[in-house]
Structure 1
Amino acid sequence: MDVLADVVSAMRTGLSSYGRADVRAPWGLRLTQSTGATFHLILQGTCWLLPPNGEPPHALGPGDAVLLPRGAPHAIADQPTTPLVDVGLKTSGKVELPPGFDPTGGQGPRSLLLCGTYLLERERPHPLLSTLPDFMHLPASPGRHRTLHTAITLLGEEIDTGPPGSRAVIPSLVDAVLILILRAWLEQQDDYPADGWSKAMADIPVARSLELIHAQPGAPWTVATLAARVGLSRATFARRFTDAVGLPPLTYLARWRMTTAARLLREDSGSLAGVAQQIGYTSEFAFAKAFKRDFGLAPGAYRRQVTAGPETAPP
């Protein structure tokens, strides 16, 4: 079971949205709080990102990726000292510029960026999302995260040249980049898995128990049965799981069942009874009661609320 892919699929609540930013220096954009996880991919040229919370500016170059999982306000500019213009990200992902501002009107070097949002669950975030920092920078370091940076290079070529079929290729590459960024970030933490999701994946019995839960969320798991399957005593397993994941095993199981139910309601038109059965409830009434307690809506009402989502914007 690919736990990371499963978690990302469950966290996604809609299609990604994006737009190209083709700019010439001098330029500086201050982005407001976004409803999604904001991303910037540097396809050509260089620029600087001014992170949230007053962190020092970060130099960005071709192949770099930036993800702000909670859409925190930040700025991006050709130089840290360039005056900033307040902008926002539309629901389409495109940068909303103030009237009269021409990002291509400068005489300096050109930069080509892909900016946009991934819609992720925020009301009930998965522990993976909760433990991510407000700002993640994956530089194009030689020999590291080659798959991620290859994807970014391909995106740059597709967007800049627009060959036949690019409108089908680009959305798939953008979606793949989210998993590639998260995977690269977790790999980057492997040397120091002191806390967060990297610690859970580095602890083999804990990682194995997560695979079991994600593979069969509807199974009648107990702490004892999970401990036995991963070769630990009940007490040792419960302690290590809670320490690594941040939740006790059965609390995580209950939350993951509801997260899975929400994904099924968003993506599948099957019956509520069928959804209940898939996550281990024999009673549709008991499932509906538990779901409403977690989401504040009955399953049917939740499904109706999320059926309409934003459409992917063309580059």
Structure 2
Amino acid sequence: MDALAELLDGPRARGALLLRMVMEPPWSVRIEDRAPLCLMSVTSGEAWIMPEGEAEPVLLRPGDLAVARGPDPYTVADRPGTEPRARIGPGGTCATLLGEPLSQSMELGVRTWGNARDGSAVVLVGTYLLDGEISGRLLDALPPLLVLPPGGRTGPLLTLLDNEIARDEPGQSTMLDRLLDLLLIDALRTWFSRPGAEPPTWYLAMADPVVGRALRLLRDEPAHPWTVAGLAARTGVSRAALARRFTDLVGEPPMAYLTGRRLAVAADLLRETDATVEAVARKVGYGQAFAFSTAFKRVRGVSPQEYRRGRTLPERQ
């Protein structure tokens, strides 16, 4: 398994916010949803993205794919000088800047929203709503905003997303989630392989003959009672050599990585199965449910039971 696949082979889009935004100038939307990541692409017309702070506005033309990293706010508009007319808050809530609800008045159909049914600007938007859906390590490696020009597999994926986003059929939400994941994977692969790119060291770790093997062992056998010494023996190096090399490439010690991996697997099991907390704890290597619950709450901010009930996770700082 390569580095990008390993990174994305865990929590992923679940019930992501996907919509087609149809607008006629003048228009401007302030995004303050604090979502970890949002993908945007213009299918007709154009749109400007204005990041927070001193960053320059970025123009999106048809076929461009923008990836905006949260939680900092930004504005999307027909041009840089247009004052915001609407605000998108946490969970995709929409209101005027004075707080008056706009969701119903601007609804134009299934997953379609805007100020004019035949507006000249059409923007596809896909937003990951929870921090747990995107690795913090990945977010830290990305700039606040990146824009990729048309090309590669992105075009066909965007066409498919455009065709599917306004449909209301069985399994549609899951299909759209997977399309969003595919777009993200293609965007990241393109971004990290562009000329002059400097991928983070953890991105290259899976190709390392020692660390890559250690990562695969931890991923494939998270419930095994691993120690650094045991992992070193399986990879054919000394304990000190493994600890140093692993930390240098991955950015954290082997046992810290294992804890994160176990809790990520546990989060999936809690959301996707009916297994008891005790059973989940055993499956990811915790002998006692209490120890598992304590570790889970320390990292996720909520107990396993609360997470299973679907409570929103605390905002990522």
Residue 259 of structure 2 is matched in structure 1 by 254
**Aligned with 2:116 (options 104, 117, 125):** 104
**How far apart are the structure 1 equivalents of 2:171 and 2:286?**
44
**How far apart are the structure 1 equivalents of 2:213 and 2:234?**
9
* Change in CA separation of 1:81 and 1:2 when aligned onto 2, cut-off 3 Å: same
Percent of aligned positions with the same letter in both sequences?
36
Alignment TM-score, normalising by the size of structure 2: 0.76
Cα distance, 1:59 vs structure 2 = 2.1
* Change in CA separation of 1:225 and 1:199 when aligned onto 2, cut-off 3 Å: same
1:54 alignment partner, SS class: coil
AA aligned to 1:104 is A
Residue 76 of structure 1 is matched in structure 2 by 76
1:8-47 alignment runs, 5 A limit: 8=8, 10-12=10-12, 14-47=14-47
* Change in CA separation of 1:231 and 1:134 when aligned onto 2, cut-off 3 Å: farther
**How far apart are the structure 2 equivalents of 1:287 and 1:75?**
41
**How far apart are the structure 2 equivalents of 1:173 and 1:222?**
38
Tell whether 2:90 aligns with 1:85. Answer: no
* Change in CA separation of 1:211 and 1:44 when aligned onto 2, cut-off 3 Å: farther
Greater Cα shift, 274-283 or 226-235: 226-235
* Change in CA separation of 1:258 and 1:165 when aligned onto 2, cut-off 3 Å: closer
Residue 312 of structure 1 is matched in structure 2 by none
**Aligned with 1:192 (options 160, 176, 198):** 198
- For the Cα contact (< 8 Å) 1:27–1:82, is it kept in 2? yes
- For the Cα contact (< 8 Å) 2:18–2:176, is it kept in 1? no
Cα distance, 1:308 vs structure 2 = 9.1
**Aligned with 1:270 (options 275, 281, 300):** 275
Structure 2 portions without partners, runs of 5+: 107-113
Residue 151 of structure 1 is matched in structure 2 by 157
**Aligned with 2:211 (options 206, 213, 218):** 206
1:215-230 alignment runs, 5 A limit: 215-230=220-235
Partner deviation per Cα, 1:67-120 (whole Å, 9 max, x = no partner): 2232421112233333433421563x47556669974399xx822111242123
Greater Cα shift, 49-58 or 248-257: 49-58
Alignment TM-score, normalising by the size of structure 1: 0.77
1:115-154 alignment runs, 5 A limit: 115-121=125-131, 126-140=136-150, 142=151, 146-154=152-160
* Change in CA separation of 1:96 and 1:283 when aligned onto 2, cut-off 3 Å: same
Cα distance, 1:207 vs structure 2 = 3.3
Residue 124 of structure 2 is matched in structure 1 by 114
Residue 62 of structure 1 is matched in structure 2 by 62
* Change in CA separation of 1:174 and 1:105 when aligned onto 2, cut-off 3 Å: closer
Residue 281 of structure 1 is matched in structure 2 by 286
1:290-305 alignment runs, 5 A limit: 290-304=295-309
Cα distance, 1:19 vs structure 2 = 1.4
Cα distance, 1:149 vs structure 2 = 3.1
Partner deviation per Cα, 1:220-277 (whole Å, 9 max, x = no partner): 2222333344454433332222122221111111122122222211221112222112
AA aligned to 2:116 is T
**Aligned with 2:247 (options 242, 246, 249):** 242
Q: CA RMSD in A?
A: 3.7
**How far apart are the structure 1 equivalents of 2:311 and 2:272?**
8
**How far apart are the structure 2 equivalents of 1:231 and 1:188?**
34
**How far apart are the structure 1 equivalents of 2:312 and 2:33?**
22
